[in-house]
Amino acid sequence: MIEQIRNQADALKTVIGQQPKHGMDLLLDFARLYGVDEDVENEILLCQYELNVTNTEGGGISDALKIKLDGIADAIVENYDPAKIEIRVQKEQILADNVRQKRIRNDVVLSANNIVKKYRKSKFQLKADNIELRLGEITGLVGENATGKSTLLKILAGEIVPQLGEVNYPLFDPKNQKNWTDLKMRIAYVPQELTKWEGSLLENLAFEAARHGIKGNKNKVAVEYIIQRLGLALHTDKSWAELSGGYKLRFALAKALVWHPQLLILDEPLAYLDIKAQNIVLSDLRNLAKSLKNHLAILISSQHLHETESVADQMWFMREGVLENLGSTNDFNNNRDYNLFELSCALPFSSFHQELNDLGRIKTWANDEIYFIKTPLSISADNFIDYCQSKKIKLLYFRDISQSVKTKFYDTLI
Amino acid sequence: MFFEIILCVLNLFYLICSEVNKYCCLTKYLFSNLIEANDILSRKSEIKGYVATAKLDLAVKRCIDFYQDFGIDDDDDAVLLSMRFHEIIKNEKMGMWTEDVVITRKTQIAMSILTMIKDFSNLQPTA
C-alpha cells in the first residue's frame, strides 16, 4: 500500500510541475485521503493562496513553492498511518453528527389573511391573503411598478393599517395584543427612500443598538460585530454626505441588523447597488437569515427578479394590487408542460422566427431586443442551443426561465 | 516513463473517485448557497475554499458566521481577526505599507483563519 501511495505522490509532483493549479487540487484530495491531520491540508491551502496572490503569467509556479509542495507530498507518504487517519475521520464524523442536531427554528414570524387596503382617490385596491413569513427564510416580492409592493410591505411592517384583514406576529405577540410600541421594536423595516442621518455611522449604530436595549459593553460588541460582518470597517467615520448610494443602503442594513431583529423587511434594497454590491448584499442576507444562532425572516421587494430568486426560499408576485403566493422557489412551475427561454441574437425577430421553423410547435414573441421562445418540454435548453448552433444563429444572451417567476410576467402570452 | 506517470495519475484519479462518496463533503469547495447551516464540515470547507482562492474578505465574513453559530457567547476571536484584516486593507489603500508587507500580513490572516477553524473543531465535543 505504502508503495502505491509513494508512486501516487511522485505522479502528483510531476503534475504540479506541469499544471500547478490542477496538481494542487489533486494534492489536496491526496492529503485528505492519506494525511494524518488537518495541518497538511492547511499547508496546501496556503500554497494555493500564495499561487493565487502571486498569480504569475501563464499560471507557472515558483521554485520555492514547488519545493514546498514536493515536501508536503513526501511528508504525507512518510507520516502515513491508517490508524491515525481512521481516528481523524471518525472525529470529524462525530463532530458533524453532533452539530447536525442543531436546527433553525422554523417558527412563523408573521402571518396575514384577507388584507385589503383601498385608496379612494386613485381607486387603487390592494389584496393579500394567506401569507406567512418564517424564521430562516427569505421571501422575494416581485411585480411590475406601481402594483402595490411598497404598500404591502408598509402594512406588514406596521407602518400603515389595512381597512380589512389582520397581520399577526405569533413569535413576538403570541396573545395578539398589538402593542405597536413593543412590536415596532422587533421589526426592522428599511424603506426604499432612506432617511438622512446625522453624525457618523459608528455613532448611529451605537444609538440604534441602545434604542433597542443593548447598552454598555454589549453595545460595543454588537456594533463592532455588525461593522465587521457587513464589511463596513473602512467607512465608520463617514457621514451621510460622504457615502455613495450603495453604502447608504449597506449602512441602513447595518442599522437594521445591529439589534438582531427576527423580522427584516426591505423595500427595493438592490435599487441603488451595482451588480457586485447586489451580490454581496444578497449573499450577506442569505447567510444572516440562515444563521443557526440569530436566524431571521427576511422579506425583500425587488425589480431584480433573477437576483432575488437566487436567494429566496419563497416568492410572492404582485399584479395590479393582488398578491399571489407562488410558494417555494424550488417547486415553482414543476408541473408545467412547456419550457420558456429568453435570449437575444443578432438576427431581426422575423428572421429569427423563420429560422425556428424546423422546431415544430413553438411560440415566439419579442420584448424589444429580448426574444422569448416557448417550446414543448421535449425541447430542453441544451436541445435549443444545439439547434441554434446547427442553424448558425449566434446567441448573444440566453436564459432558461421555465422555472423562474419571470414566467408570471408573460403568462397571458404563454 | 511517460506512460508510467499517466498510469499513476489515472490510478490516483480512480482512487480519489472511489473515495468520493466517503468524503464528498470535503472533496470540492462548497459555497454558502448550497450549504445547510448545521453542516459544519461543509462550512469549514467553504471557508477553506475562500482562503485557497484568495477571497479573504469572504473567508473572514464566513469565519465570523462560523463563530457566531458554533462558538460560545463571549468568543469574539473572529471579529478581532476581521478588525486586523480591515486594518491591513486600510493601510494598503492609504499606501502606508509596501506590497511585501501587505502580502505578508494577509498571508498571516489566511493562516489565522485556517488555524482558527481547525482549533475550533478540535475544541468541540466529539463524544
* Bridge partners (DSSP) listed for residue A325: A316
Task: For A225, name the nearest residue in chain B, comparing CA atoms only.
Answer: B79
* Bridge partners (DSSP) listed for residue A374: A340, A363
Least confident of A135-144, A155-164, A372-381, B27-36: B27-36
Say if residue B31 is exposed, middle or buried (CB neighbours under 10 Å; 0-12, 13-18, 19+): middle
Residue among A103, A228, A283 whose CB faces B83 most closely: A228
The answer to whether residue B21 scores a pLDDT higher than 50 is no
Of residues A358, A194, A333, the one with CA closest to residue A272: A194
What is the C-alpha separation between A112 and A148, in angstroms, rounded?
16
Per-residue pLDDT, A60: 80
Q: Which residues of B touch A228 (CB under 8 A)?
A: 60, 64, 79, 82-83, 86
What is the C-alpha separation between A246 and B35, in angstroms, rounded?
27
Ranges of beta strands (E only) in A259-394 are 263-267, 297-301, 314-319, 322-328, 338-345, 363-367, 370-376
At B126, the pLDDT band (50, 70, 90 cuts) reads very low
What is the C-alpha separation between B89 and A136, in angstroms, rounded?
32
Of residues B84, B126, B92, the one with CA closest to residue B108: B84
Contact between residue A246 and residue A273 where contact means Cβ atoms under 8 Å apart: yes
Q: pLDDT tens-digit profile of A151-180?
A: 999 999 999 999 999 999 999 999 999 899
> In this structure, what C-alpha cell is assigned to residue A113?
389573511
The nearest CA of chain B is from the CA of A322 a distance in Å of 31
CB of B57 within 8 Å of a chain A CB? The answer is yes
What is the C-alpha separation between B74 and B58, in angstroms, rounded?
23
The nearest CA of chain B is from the CA of A161 a distance in Å of 36
ipTM for the predicted complex comes to 0.89
What is the C-alpha separation between A278 and A269, in angstroms, rounded?
9
Percentage of the residues of chain A whose pLDDT score is greater than 90: 85
Q: pLDDT tens-digit profile of B37-60?
A: 999 999 999 999 999 999 999 999
Residue among A30, A41, A292 whose CB faces B38 most closely: A292
Average pLDDT over residues A269-287: 92
Residue among A8, A136, A228 whose CB faces B11 most closely: A8
CB of B77 within 8 Å of a chain A CB? The answer is no
Other Cβ atoms less than 10 A from the Cβ of A236: the count is: 18
Q: CA B89 from chain center: how many Å?
A: 19
Q: pLDDT tens-digit profile of A142-151?
A: 998 889 999 9
What is the C-alpha separation between A166 and B70, in angstroms, rounded?
38
At A59, the pLDDT band (50, 70, 90 cuts) reads low
Task: For B29, name the nearest residue in chain A, comparing CA atoms only.
Answer: A25
Say if residue A55 is exposed, middle or buried (CB neighbours under 10 Å; 0-12, 13-18, 19+): exposed
What is the C-alpha separation between A153 and A117, in angstroms, rounded?
12
Of residues A106, A153, A107, the one with CA closest to residue A128: A153
User: Mutating which of B9, B12, B30 best tests the A interface, going by the most A Cβ atoms within 10 A?
Assistant: B12
Residue B71 DSSP class: S
Q: Which residues of A touch B41 (CB under 8 A)?
A: 92, 95-96
